[in-house]
Each structure stands twice: as C-alpha cells, then as structure tokens.
Amino acid sequence: MAVEVVTFGLFLLRHTAQWATDPEVFLASQARLHVGSATVGTVVLLIGSFTAYQGALSCEVGRGRRAVGWLAATALAGLVFSTNKIGEYADLTDVTLSTNGFWFSYLFLTGLHLLHVVAGVVGFAWLTVSAARGHADEGEGLLEVQAGAVYWHLVDVVWLMLFPILYLMHP
C-alpha cells in the first residue's frame, strides 16, 4: 500500500511542478473536466467504502452470509464509478497522454486509479461468491474480506487526493 501512495504522490508532485510552469495550459485543460461527474464518482466510491466496511464487520462478527449484500454493493459501486469515469473519457477523444502535461497527469493518474477500481470490482465479486458459500467469516476467508476492505479504502484515499488536485485546484 505504501508503494501505491508513494507512486501516486510522486506523480502528483510532478503534476504540481508542471502546473507552476504552464498555468494557462493547465487551466484551459482543467476547464474541460466534468466536476459534477467526478463529484458523483467520489460519492459512489465513499459509499463503496461504507459497504466494504459493513461487509468486513459482518464477517468479523460471524455473519459472513449477511456480508454478501454488502460485498456485492461494493462491487456495484466500483462498476458505477468505472462507468462514470469511462463516460468522462468519452468526452475527451481529442486528448492523449502527449497532448500536454495536464492531460498526461490526468489520463495517467485517473487511468491507473481506474485499473485499481476494476481490480477491486473483480475482488469484491469473488469475495461475494466466497461469502455466499459460507467461507468469509472465519480464518483465511475473513482475512481476505478484511484485506479487500483495506484495499478499497486505499483506492478511495488515492481518489480523495486526485479529485481535488485534478478537478478543483487552480494554479
């Protein structure tokens, strides 16, 4: 997890340094982003964190089958976020990683984050099936659910760094 935070953090520092050297290009590029859509995505990810926590909590108290709905809801939150993010990308067909420094940072960082969300969706789909089979409230199954929840929270923390820096802050 530390590697993830350091990786995203270093790229955000790079973004900030380039921002200082070319503020007009960054402002013009940033103006094309959909803050409302990103805000919805943020809320969806936070709901996913809540459901991941509730799923882990259910497993910890020996109610693994009750966790099924919570774990499935986390996977669903990831799918909703992913669909929302792909919709944002669809409006940016004329930009690439090489368009300018802002678009490199935006596409690279949000794309890398999206890959982590998709991995979380797959993981929580698997955890949902495992919980439905009764394997999530003891031993290794419980540890897997707890690890999944921690992973989801990390994905949220990364997004909570990306969202204000990429969408809201101005040079």
Encode pLDDT of 96-136 as tens digits. 999 999 999 999 999 999 999 999 999 999 999 999 988 88
Residue span of the structural domain in which 161 resides:
2-14+35-168
147, part of any domain: yes
The total number of structural domains in the chain stands at 1
CA neighbor of 52 nearest in space, from 68, 71, 39: 71
User: Apex CA 97: angle with CA 92 and CA 99, to 5°?
Assistant: 75
Determine, yes or no, domain membership for 21: no
CA–CA separation, 57 and 63 (whole Å): 9
Axis-axis angle for helices 101-132, 35-60 (nearest 10): 30
Residue 62 and residue 95: Cα distance in Å, rounded? 50
pLDDT in tens, 47-78: 999 999 999 999 988 887 889 999 999 999 99
The answer to whether residue 22 is domain-embedded is: no
CATH number reported for the structural domain that contains residue 113 in this entry: 1.20.120.80
- Say if 20 falls within a structural domain: no
